[in-house]
Amino acid sequence: MRRLERRWQGCEGLRAKVSRVTLLLEKEYGIPRRESPGDPLDVLIETILSQNTSDQNRDKAYRRLKARFPRWDYVLEAKTRSIVSAIRPGGLAEQKARRIHGILYWIKKREGRMSLAFVRKMSFEEIKETIGSLKGIGPKTLHCLLLFGLGREVFPVDTHILRVGKRLGFLPERMGAEKAHPWMVPFLPKGKSLSLHLNLIRFGRSVCKARDPQCNICFLTKDCLHPIK
């Protein structure tokens, strides 16, 4: 963190750029409405299912899992092959099934019931130390739990945001997602983490694509470091 703090010094220009891009994205896509946080455990499982797959496949896997096992206790009691069968549309089904089962087992052993309500009273560092240490929960999954399950002001960095962030100069070119999470903290406009997160993802999917960026229709070319002429 000390190294990051040294890099943050004198970065007012980058902070202003992030704020400007946030406003331009809101002008184009609107301001996402912050809904009431979902159940933390539901959000956590859904985010695990989202790893390395599309939203459509994640949603299908989650719906199948909940249809087959209406309560998380039923998932814990189920055989691994039954969980794998339910979540197969989300990809990496065997790996995700083991991770989900392991997390549910840990929660049940700790709390005596299937609930993550206890994290609501924890600080960011406490949640990071407690939940972030579980297998299968990386920085993005942890930050999604905080943002969507607890309503905290945090900024998850997925593959779209990592790519677009580098093209816009928010992130150093060689930085990975794990380091990108603490890096972005001082540059986020107050109260805009949800807006910037969702709108950057939308922008990355529709305009600033990985293989075929639509630079001819891009409204952020003035802020891009690598526009294709």
Show which residues are catalytic.
140
How far is residue 44 from each of residues 38, 79, 149, 184, measured CA to CA in Å? 10, 20, 8, 22
User: How many CB atoms are closer than 10 A to CB 142?
Assistant: 22
Any residues with CB less than 8 A from the CB of 34 and at least 6 apart, and which? 151, 194
Q: Put residue 168 in one of left, alpha, beta given phi > 0 → left and psi -120 to 50 → alpha.
A: alpha
DSSP 8-state assignment for residue 35: P
Distance (Å, whole) CA 7 – CA 194: 25
Long-range contacts of residues 143-148, Cβ cutoff 8 Å, at least 24 apart? 143/181, 144/43, 144/47, 144/50, 145/40, 145/43, 145/44, 145/47, 145/119, 147/193, 147/194, 147/197, 148/37, 148/38, 148/43, 148/47
Distance (Å, whole) CA 20 – CA 126: 33
174 burial (CB, 10 Å; 0-12 / 13-18 / 19+) is exposed
